Amino acid sequence: MSSFAHLHVHTEYSLLDGFSNIKKLIAKVKELNMDSVAITDHGTMFGVIEFYMAAKDAGVKPIIGLETYVSARRMTDRDSQKDKHSFHLLLLAENETGYKNLLKIASAAQLEGFYYYPRVDHEFLAAHSEGLIATTSCMSGEVPRTILHKGVEAGREMLDWYYNVFGADNFFVELQSHDIAELPALNKTLVDLGKRYNAKYIATNDVHYINRADARLQDIMLCIQTGSLVSDTNRMRMTGDSYYLRSPEEMAALFPEKPDALSNTLLIADRCNVDLIKKGYHLPQFPVPEGFTAETYLRRLCEEGLVIQYGAKANAPEIRERLNYELGIIHQMGFDAYFLIVWDLCRFSRENNVWYNTRGSGAGSIVAYSLQISLIEPLGHKLLFERFLNPNRISMPDIDLDIQDDKRALIMEYCARQYGADKVAQIITFGTLGARAALRDVGRVMDIPLSEVDRVSKTVPAVIPDKPVTVLNSLEASDQFRAIYNESDYMHDLIDTAARMEGVARNAGTHAAGVVITDVPMVDYIPLHRPTSGSEESPIKTVTQFEMKIVDKLGLLKVDFLGLSTLTIMQRACDLIKDRHNVILNLHNIPLDDPETFEVLGRGHTAGVFQLEGNGMTRYITQMKPENLSNIIAMVALFRPGPMEFIPSYIKRLHNEEPVSYRHPKMEEFFSETFGIPIYQEQLMLAVMGMAGYTAADADDFRKAISKKLAAEIEKHKAKFVKGAGEKGIDEPTAMAIFTEWENFARYGFNKSHAADYGVVAVETAYLKTH
């Protein structure tokens, strides 16, 4: 068992201040044989769930905390002289109540108390102290700073307040040892003052980076934050290189006269127990008419919608069977309310003349089509419901809506009004240092001439086949970049440093589309943030402190509202057509099979056409001379790095200039649509269903294993496919060869639902342009 736990730790989510990557931090904790560690970022809880999961996965106990800022006066005061500076306070969640109070403190500091820093005041702390363990914090804490600036007696009065609020069992005196002249005397004063309270002490190290050698990188990051040069003498900097994850032995050597300050860290670690990942989903209650449940009301709407969408064919066996199957799965998985919520948003859009379109695998659902959530008829396009909602894998549905950009705010206002402003928020994003950004930022703070930084940045490849564009990968891929690296010591240092800075979180922003809706006030689940730069004008005035993947992990409802200018332009064009020609056109009735439209596209008139404009795409469209929507959908799917290499063959086969062949005759049924070239993920799913007896749900599991390159899962599916194919009369060598080909599918397989959504809008915009 370890003899010490670090309880004052800043990760990279103390933006441009902490340099501790969470996974590397946890790995170092394990290396040093410590059993637990805390996260206490400055003023935010951005990283707590990522930290919690990483620690749990590694067998390390996560302690969830926050180093909040305490205002000099009231948190609402904003006097430039009196309120510019605030104090630090370390808070750790002992239990679920404490964690919820941390959420409230982190949120109120951003939404109500922000002034230079996210602040709370004494009154707010006192009202939210239950379940929290607090410490005197670092030298910027209120008690230490009061002692240093106002004397011991004033410090004693401040200690009285904290002990009264948190209680003797929940308030600890924090001792640190760094190269700061005032610190030894301050520690002695704190120890002497603590005797009056029979105080408990803890030793901490104010960790800002993982290894001692990282001190230079963290210093460069501070320069990026403050716009300073490394060579500036009068700038913000840490005192020395001691703010790393010291070993228990190093910590013990720093405080030989206070061994209890080390053992008390374990006492706190033992007391702190919170469970942040709970199973289940937290969907808002959707109000249904009297006499209905969510399940029965959803069916009622679908039955009515089938008649609208299919007319006399609404009772066709294939349609009825598909609807009943989907509704059964939706109810079994508990997502009736989800579909009603999205339906309601689309209903409001239609009634208020807001054009929208659905992106992604939701187009594979006949329920979504009958509710007019999706404009794509799934059966005719051979779209699979399981690609959208797989009963084998319980996960929240994800329907993304493109909204005409000039009316997106209207939908967001309705969302906040319908569910409550305290239950709706936009989603935060974090910008990280990419290869070029790292080179530019590091070059600037190292005072390397801009022309030189530009020269090296421009040699970073735009794309590296099958690899992310990183500094290290660029050294392998680009002779020019490697030559600059070797030409001088300072370029060598610049590139090496940028490589180590790459990937660090640099700034917070707001997701272009994501909105979260909860069943209770959002602050019960997620800490909230003030609007970030660029989102101030949004009708939704709060932003989550957790990014999208964490929101999903917590089982919260997320809807994407992406503003799309194409839809705005299309609506305005249709309004003009109505005014001038008395012809009513909309997304539901613009023809998708007009020969003149495809003929005009084939002549290269693609300017202004959604997804089809641009020199490269136009060149291929003119070679293709598309004849129908299917050709356009295929081109949308193919025109990406990787699958672009198949475009020439697709075009030749379309025009009978290249033979179409299949490794086995059974493949023709599934790949003839694309002339033997596997383009869509749905083709792969249908193929394993037809050739090896997979269920649709199992086929989606196979699709995921292939696309995510899950080696162990791929091996299981290989054996399953070969066995199933054998039962269908396909010999083992042929089955193995087919499977091997499909493994490469991960490089270029595309979601057909997504391509169909975009292909339809492309043809509709082309029709409006043509006519």
What's the whole-number mean pLDDT along residues 442-464? 91
Residue 640 pLDDT: 87
Distance of CA 374 to the CA centre of its chain: 24
Mean pLDDT of the chain: 93
Q: Which of 227-231, 465-469, 616-620 is the most confident on average?
A: 616-620
Distance of CA 18 to the CA centre of its chain: 20
CA dist list (Å): 766 to 242, 612, 627, 634, 770: 63, 9, 13, 16, 6
Q: How far apart are CA 660 and CA 232, in angstroms?
A: 67
Q: How far apart are CA 460 and CA 333, in angstroms?
A: 46
Residue 464 pLDDT: 86
What's the whole-number mean pLDDT along residues 479-484? 92
CA dist list (Å): 298 to 394, 496, 643, 706: 20, 58, 39, 34
pTM (2 decimals)? 0.90
Q: Are 551 and 558 in contact (CB under 8 A)?
A: yes
What's the whole-number mean pLDDT along residues 682-694? 94
Distance of CA 771 to the CA centre of its chain: 41
CB proximity list for 342: less than 8 A, separation 6 or greater: 368, 371, 373, 399, 401, 559
For the cut 90, the answer to whether the pLDDT of residue 707 exceeds it is: no
Q: How far apart are CA 523 and CA 545, in angstroms?
A: 10
For the cut 90, the answer to whether the pLDDT of residue 167 exceeds it is: yes
What's the whole-number mean pLDDT along residues 214-239? 91
What's the whole-number mean pLDDT along residues 646-665? 95
Token digits of residue 713: 């899962």
Q: Which helix (H) or strand (E) holds 505?
A: strand 505-517
Q: How far apart are CA 260 and CA 761, in angstroms?
A: 68
What's the whole-number mean pLDDT along residues 127-144? 97
pLDDT tens-digit profile of 535-560? 667 889 899 999 999 999 999 999 99
Residue 467 pLDDT: 86
Residue 38 pLDDT: 98
Name the band, by pLDDT with cuts 50, 70 and 90, for residue 309: very high
Strands 543-547 and 424-432: parallel
Name the band, by pLDDT with cuts 50, 70 and 90, for residue 472: very high
Neighbours of 262 (CB within 10 A): 20
Q: How far apart are CA 63 and CA 9, in angstroms?
A: 10
Cα torsion at 129, 263, 204, 69 (round to 10°)?
Answer: 0
Tokens 């009154």, located at residue: 123
Which residue type is seen at 759? G
Q: Are 314 and 381 in contact (CB under 8 A)?
A: no
- Residue of 763, 764, 771, 760 lying closest to 577 (CA atoms): 771
Q: How far apart are CA 478 and CA 669, in angstroms?
A: 43
pLDDT tens-digit profile of 318-371? 999 999 999 999 999 999 999 999 999 999 999 999 999 988 889 999 999 999
pLDDT tens-digit profile of 22-53? 999 999 999 999 999 999 999 999 999 999 99
For the cut 90, the answer to whether the pLDDT of residue 730 exceeds it is: yes
Which residue type is seen at 479? D
Q: How far apart are CA 603 and CA 617, in angstroms?
A: 12
What's the whole-number mean pLDDT along residues 616-637? 95
Which residue type is seen at 593? D
DSSP for residue 131: T
Residue 136 pLDDT: 97
SS3 sequence, 478-502?
CHHHHHHHCCCHHHHHHHHHHHHHC
Q: How far apart are CA 60 and CA 26, in angstroms?
A: 7
For the cut 90, the answer to whether the pLDDT of residue 755 exceeds it is: no
133 φ/ψ angles, rounded to the nearest 5 degrees: -105, 130
Residue 746 pLDDT: 60
What's the whole-number mean pLDDT along residues 242-248? 97
pLDDT over 90, % of the chain: 86
For the cut 90, the answer to whether the pLDDT of residue 579 exceeds it is: yes
Query: In 3-state terms, what secondary structure has residue 357?
Result: strand
Neighbours of 294 (CB within 10 A): 22
Residue 533 pLDDT: 75
The dihedral through the CA atoms of 688, 689, 692, 697 has a sign that is positive
Token digits of residue 672: 């003839």
Burial of 352 (0-12, 13-18, 19+ CB in 10 A): exposed
Which residue type is seen at 52? Y
Cα torsion at 429, 430, 436, 437 (round to 10°)?
Answer: 120
CA dist list (Å): 589 to 309, 416, 586, 760: 12, 31, 6, 11
Q: How far apart are CA 673 and CA 690, in angstroms?
A: 16
Q: Which helix (H) or strand (E) holds 313?
A: none
Q: How far apart are CA 315 and CA 294, in angstroms?
A: 23
CA dist list (Å): 412 to 156, 347, 417, 528, 558: 51, 14, 9, 17, 13
Q: How far apart are CA 190 and CA 566, in angstroms?
A: 64
User: Among 346-350, 639-643, 758-762, which is the least confidently predicted range?
Assistant: 639-643
Q: How far apart are CA 65 and CA 245, in angstroms?
A: 17
For the cut 80, the answer to whether the pLDDT of residue 750 exceeds it is: no
Q: Are 36 and 69 in contact (CB under 8 A)?
A: no
Which runs of E-coded beta strand occur in 131-284?
Answer: 132-135, 171-175, 200-203
Residue 751 pLDDT: 84
Q: How far apart are CA 18 and CA 531, in angstroms?
A: 22
pLDDT over 70, % of the chain: 99
For the cut 90, the answer to whether the pLDDT of residue 2 exceeds it is: no
Token digits of residue 6: 């670090």
User: Among 243-257, 528-542, 581-595, which is the least confidently predicted range?
Assistant: 528-542
Tell me which of 741 and 110 has the higher pLDDT.
110
Which residue type is seen at 689? M
For the cut 90, the answer to whether the pLDDT of residue 428 exceeds it is: yes
Tokens 């959908």, located at residue: 633
Residue 748 pLDDT: 64
The dihedral through the CA atoms of 188, 192, 193, 197 has a sign that is positive
CA dist list (Å): 555 to 50, 278, 681: 15, 8, 26
Name the band, by pLDDT with cuts 50, 70 and 90, for residue 534: low
Q: How far apart are CA 508 and CA 15, in angstroms?
A: 8
Q: How far apart are CA 529 and CA 513, in angstroms?
A: 17
Residue 715 pLDDT: 93
What's the whole-number mean pLDDT along residues 683-696? 94
Residue 535 pLDDT: 65
Which residue type is seen at 745? F
Query: In 3-state terms, what secondary structure has residue 24?
Result: helix
